[in-house]
Structure formats: structure tokens, C-alpha cells
Amino acid sequence: MRKFENYDLISRNSNLKQDFKLSEGLERKLIKLSYQTVLTFLKNVFPLFDNETSCEECTDKFIKLFSVAKKQNLISRGGVPEKNYLLLSMTAQLLNPTLYVESGFFKGSSIHAVSQSKKLRRIIGFDPKHTNYRAILPKHLNVSLFKSDFADYDFNEEDLSLSLLYFDDHINTAERIIQASDKGFKNLIFDDSCGLMGTVERKFPSMPSLFFIENIENFSKNDEILWSKQGKKKLNFFNLFDINIKRKKSYLSFKFDEASISLCREAKNRILSITKMPDLNDFIKTNNLTTNDVTQHFVVLK
Ligand SMILES: C[S@@+](CC[C@H](N)C(=O)[O-])C[C@H]1O[C@@H](n2cnc3c(N)ncnc32)[C@H](O)[C@@H]1O
């Protein structure tokens, strides 16, 4: 790039030996800007949205929470990446649910991200495997974690009027929407329920995902997607270097049939709106994404 060096404002100093660092105060400025983006997003989803939490408050809480999450090793493989942790934290602080329900809590990084919202009192989580769970949550929260499935839990004793339901279980999105609607939930967030690219990058996509449900009238019986996913294992040696080992490749496919098409139609009938949540790449550095599409979607049910 010698041609442009007169205009280049980047300092290129190999003595710096700094992988990533923001100068004092810059992280705060960026997090404050992310608050505005999430607020604008929520006002778009809920035109009458009444904001009760200030930018300063959300920013302070996020910065503390994020540093605790890093110490608890929650921002790591299998948990939510940094930008989605920020998105969940801001969304929860602004929406202020009293009840948070999550299906697929794994190590608890997304539960941790929402745990500081002001009015939150109750958390209910579902995951068949609890051995990876490691989030330490505020003591005042009434937390119940189950190995059973979300579909089998009786929510009659719970107050769902100010609830937020998060799906990160990679289970068939159409089924999850119908179940959530039958149980009386209105506000849902889906992780990993994407369109073509976000599906064929995954071994466990939640098919039929939101994109296919929303556009179901454009698909027909026997429409099929085939893809493969290379299994990988990363071995780390003395925290100094990683070696990626290739494992068995999986070959996967999804074909529409009458049953899946009518399931998608049923799910679509229950939906008021589906909105892509903002990508917060502009405000926070996210490390080691294994998939290129990590979009989260906000779904409001009728
Ligand atoms: C990508 S991880 C979730 C990450 C998690 N949200 C976090 O932030 O740490 C997906 C999880 O879904 C769980 N899962 C699989 N089947 C499930 C089911 N039927 N109900 C709930 N969770 C399920 C897996 O055990 C796994 O822990």
C-alpha cells in the first residue's frame, strides 16, 4: 500500500505488541452508543415503548457485568459471543422483565447477561445437561434450572405478564413458537434461528427457522437443502498455542414436506412481528466467532 502512505493515518508500529486495547474511557463511549442503537430498535418493535432505564445506568451495569462474566469464563466457546452478550444485557435492562425464561442455558452466559435488569425476580432455565453451567447470579433472584423440556413445564403458577423468553436450544423454531404461544408468552428472542447461511453453517440449526417460517408461502413440498459440517476440536497447549484437529464431517439435509409446511403456517399465524436485532459489531470487539451469522431475532406473538 506504499501508494497511499501519505494519507494513511494508521500508526504501524510493530513494537506496540498489543493485540487489542481501547484507550481510557473509549469503551464507555462505545457502550453508551450501543444503548442508543438498542433503544431505537426497541422503539421500532414497540412504538409505545416507555424507557425507564437511563443510558448511564445501563452502561455502568453492563461494564461491571461484562468484567464479571469474563472472570467467570462465560464469554467463551458455546456461550454467547461478546456482541450478543451486550445486546442481551441492554435489551433486558431496557425491557425490564420480572421473569426470564431460557431454553438451552449451557454455561449460563446469556442468563448472566440479563441478570442485572432492575425488576427481574425470577429465572427459569431448561437444559438436559447441567455440567457446563457456571454462572454466579445475584442472590435476590429466584432461579430454577431444570433438565426437563420447556414444553413440559407448567407455567400456570408464573406471572408471564412481564416476561422475556429466550431460545438458544437449537430446537425446531416452529414448534417452539407454537409451544410458547400456547403457554401465553408474548416476547421471545431466538438465537441461531437464521436464514440460509446461518443454517448451513451449523450442525444443529433450529429448522424450520424464522426465515423459513416467515416466508413459508414461497416454499413447497420437496424443497431441500443439503449441507455438510466439518467437525473440529481445538487443543490449547499451555495457553500458548492452539492446534485445530479435524473430526468427522457430518452430512445434513432438510426437506420440506406437508407436515413441516403446515407446522410453519401454524407458527406464522401466532406471530405479530419478527425483527432482526441489531448487530453490535460497531461497539464491541467479538473474538473467535465460529459462525458468520450469529443474528438474534426478536419475535412478538399475538
Ligand atoms: C449453544 S448452547 C446454549 C448457550 C447458552 N445460552 C449460554 O449462553 O451459555 C445450546 C444448549 O442447548 C441445550 N439443549 C439441547 N436440547 C435442549 C432442549 N430440548 N431443551 C433445552 N436445551 C437443550 C444443549 O444441551 C446446550 O447446552
232-273 per-position pLDDT tens digit: 777 777 666 667 777 789 999 999 999 999 999 999 999 999
Whether 168 maps to a domain, the answer reads: yes
106, 145, 148, 290, best to mutate for ligand 1 pocket (most atoms within 8 Å of CB): 106
Whether 254 maps to a domain, the answer reads no
Is position 236 within any domain? no
Report the pLDDT averaged over residues 99-105: 98
Determine, yes or no, domain membership for 206. no
End-to-end Cα separation, the chain, in angstroms: 55
Domain range enclosing 61? 24-194+271-301
Which atom of ligand 1 has the smallest separation from the CA of 107? Answer: 9
CATH label of the domain that carries residue 89: 3.40.50
Torsion of CA 32, 35, 37, 43, to 10 degrees: -150
Residue 249 lies in a domain: no
Look up the pTM and report it.
0.94
Domain count along the chain: 1
Q: What percent of the chain has pLDDT over 90?
A: 83
Given pLDDT bands bounded at 50, 70 and 90, which one contains residue 2? low
Mutate to test the pocket of ligand 1, among 87, 168, 190, 296 (most ligand atoms within 8 A of CB): 168
pLDDT in tens, 5-45: 778 888 888 888 888 999 999 999 999 999 999 999 999 99
Does the residue 185 lie in any domain?
A: yes
Look up residue 277 and give its three cell numbers.
Answer: 436485532
CA of 103 to the centre of ligand 1 (A): 6
Q: Residue 104 Cα, ligand 1 centroid: separation in angstroms? A: 3
Across the chain, mean pLDDT equals 94
Is 243 inside any structural domain? Answer: no
| Ligand 1 site, residue 107, Cβ cutoff 6 A | yes
Ligand 1 neighbourhood includes 78 CB (under 6 angstroms): yes
> Which has the minimum average pLDDT: 69-83, 148-162, 216-230, 241-255?
241-255
Query: pLDDT tens digits for 104-138?
Result: 999 999 999 999 999 999 999 999 999 999 999 99
Q: Note the pLDDT of residue 114.
A: 98
Looking at residue 3, its pLDDT comes to 66
Residue owning the nearest CA to atom 11 of ligand 1: 104
Q: Is 280 in the pocket of ligand 1 (CB under 6 A)?
A: no
* Residue 96 located in a structural domain: yes
Per-residue buried b or exposed e for 194-219, using 16+ beta carbons within 10 Å of the residue's own CB: bbeebbbbbeebbbbbbbbbbebeee
Q: Tell me: the pLDDT tens digits for 138-188?
A: 999 999 999 999 999 999 999 999 999 999 999 999 999 999 999 999 999
| Predicted pLDDT at 31 | 98
Residue nearest (by alpha carbon) to ligand 1 atom 27: 106
